């Protein structure tokens, strides 16, 4: 799904954006999409509840900033999408409706954000599929320690397998007959809209500092975050360039250089939330450019990096700035550095989106860095005692039978 038109923000608003708070900016954007669907007073309340944590911009170098998007409950930027979506969905629930069954595939971070976003939300039941053994301990606790309306299923397979099972479930007549199914993956547009908020928020903060010529470096997997950035640009955000930064799951960088979109099986890397071989938001990005690849290439550069380069970047940032980036953010950082090298002599202010807190990926860091990672309150409150998960093989009929027998 895509909006029929991408609404433009009023230019007076953009020109004075530095005078508005993060929540006010979010409200302006959300109402541009929703028109009169939700009364303003109510929408304001939803936004204030969703955005109850900051997204600080940290300056590491003259022309290089980190936008920290990991201060929400699951410590990943996906909290923005999940929190907004859960509130919007429950708002539209009517008494005569069947309980809403949310199916979601996760490579690590989506599941935690969705679980914490929907936990205890009435009339919703969440089933999360994650690839067995491929998520970190903190991530697994966020998935399996919830109880209530949240069920976690580990699949003996990859993230792409989980995503394929979910997609097939949505097409299955029996499951659709029994359940009111919906998705919480970034194929759901309600997750993308709140991601537009922080691009404008970053712009407002940089405008206060007199920074211009903005470039956003976006660590990408399913490409929802980048799609949101491109939507922000079409709404009127002045962005000079976007950088798509991937790990070796490089379907998009290969497409932009070789011209062919060849989905492949995902490969496991240190930046596991980006281990996606067939990014589901790419069709949205192509749609934003009416399928015109040469127009898209004017706005977008793409780079991919290996695990070794990821590790080097983590060490580099730590040594130079005494700052610890998660492996995904590290990839955005190297991409930014490469972009700077290729564009020396032009003025660019690069913002690397920092998508998760480093404590979610402890195994990636060498001990001398890991010991400096602070433990946020969100980790302290995780419950390691009441974990529960279901284990299934990678087989649709098996998954379907489980759903039909367990959920009602």
For ligand PLP, the closer of residues 203 and 361 by Cβ is 361
Taking alpha carbons only, the member of 84, 71, 154, 141 closest to residue 118 is: 84
For ligand PLP, the closer of residues 161 and 211 by Cβ is 161
SS3 132: coil
For ligand PLP, the closer of residues 349 and 355 by Cβ is 355
Rounded to a whole number of angstroms, the minimum distance from the CB of residue 219 to ligand PLP is 5
Rounded to a whole number of angstroms, the minimum distance from the CB of residue 356 to ligand PLP is 3
Note the helical H segments in 17-158. 22-34, 40-50, 78-91, 109-118, 137-144
Tell me the residue number closest to ligand PLP, measured at CB.
109
Rounded to a whole number of angstroms, the minimum distance from the CB of residue 357 to ligand PLP is 9
Taking alpha carbons only, the member of 155, 113, 159 closest to residue 138 is: 113
Within 13 Å, how many C-alpha atoms sit on residue 4's CB side?
A: 2
For ligand PLP, the closer of residues 109 and 211 by Cβ is 109
Rounded to a whole number of angstroms, the minimum distance from the CB of residue 122 to ligand PLP is 27
For ligand PLP, the closer of residues 157 and 219 by Cβ is 219
**Chain residues that interact with ligand PLP, rule: CB under 6 A:** 76, 78, 109, 186, 219-225, 273-274, 328, 355-356
Q: For residue 368, what is the enclosing H or E element?
A: helix 367-370
For ligand PLP, the closer of residues 17 and 215 by Cβ is 215
Residue-by-residue DSSP string for 270-315: SSGGG--SS-TTHHHHHHHTTT-HHHHHHHEEEEE--HHHHHHHHH
Measured in degrees and rounded to the nearest 5, phi and psi for residue 213 equal 55, 60
Length of the chain as a residue count: 408
For ligand PLP, the closer of residues 17 and 269 by Cβ is 269
Measured between alpha carbons, how far is 166 from 171 in angstroms, rounded to an integer? 9
Taking alpha carbons only, the member of 77, 13, 21 closest to residue 48 is: 21
Rounded to a whole number of angstroms, the minimum distance from the CB of residue 314 to ligand PLP is 14
């Amino acid at each position: 799904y895509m909006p029929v038109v991408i609404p433009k923000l009023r230019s007076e608003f953009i020109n004075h954006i530095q005078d508005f708070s993060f929540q006010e900016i979010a409200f302006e954007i959300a109402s541009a999409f929703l028109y009169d669907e939700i009364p303003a007073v109510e929408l304001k309340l939803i936004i204030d509840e969703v955005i109850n944590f900051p997204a600080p911009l940290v300056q590491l170098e003259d022309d290089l900033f980190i936008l920290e998007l990991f201060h929400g409950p699951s410590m990943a930027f996906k909290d923005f999408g999940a929190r907004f979506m859960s509130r919007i969905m429950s708002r539209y629930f009517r008494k005569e409706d069947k309980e809403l069954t949310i199916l979601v595939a996760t490579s690590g971070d989506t599941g935690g954000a969705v679980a914490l976003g929907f936990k205890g939300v009435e009339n919703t039941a969440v089933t999360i599929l994650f690839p067995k053994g491929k998520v970190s301990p903190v991530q697994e606790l966020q998935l399996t320690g919830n109880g209530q309306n949240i069920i976690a299923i580990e699949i003996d397979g990859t993230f792409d397998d989980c995503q394929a099972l979910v997609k097939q479930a949505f097409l299955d007549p029996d499951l659709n007959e029994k359940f009111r199914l919906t998705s919480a993956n970034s194929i759901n547009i309600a997750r993308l809209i709140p991601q537009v908020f922080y691009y404008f928020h970053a712009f407002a903060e940089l405008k206060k500092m007199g920074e211009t010529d903005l470039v956003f470096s976006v660590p990408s997997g399913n490409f929802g975050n980048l799609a949101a950035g491109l939507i922000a640009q079409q709404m009127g955000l002045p962005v000079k360039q976007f950088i798509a930064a991937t790990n070796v799951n490089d379907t998009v960088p290969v497409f932009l250089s070789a011209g062919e979109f060849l989905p492949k099986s995902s490969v496991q890397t240190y930046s596991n939330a980006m281990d996606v071989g067939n990014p589901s938001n790419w069709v949205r990005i192509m749609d934003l450019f009416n399928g015109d690849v040469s127009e898209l290439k004017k706005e977008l550069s793409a780079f991919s990096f290996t695990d070794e380069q990821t590790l080097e970047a983590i060490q580099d940032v730590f040594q130079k700035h005494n700052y610890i980036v998660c492996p995904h953010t590290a990839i955005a950082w190297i991409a930014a550095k490469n972009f700077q090298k290729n564009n020396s002599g032009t003025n660019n202010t690069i913002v690397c989106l920092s998508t998760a807190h480093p404590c979610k990926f402890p195994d990636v860091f060498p001990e001398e860095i890991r010991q400096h990672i602070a433990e946020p309150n969100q980790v302290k409150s995780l419950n390691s005692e009441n974990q529960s998960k279901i284990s299934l093989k990678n087989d649709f009929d098996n998954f379907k039978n489980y759903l039909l027998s367990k959920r009602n």
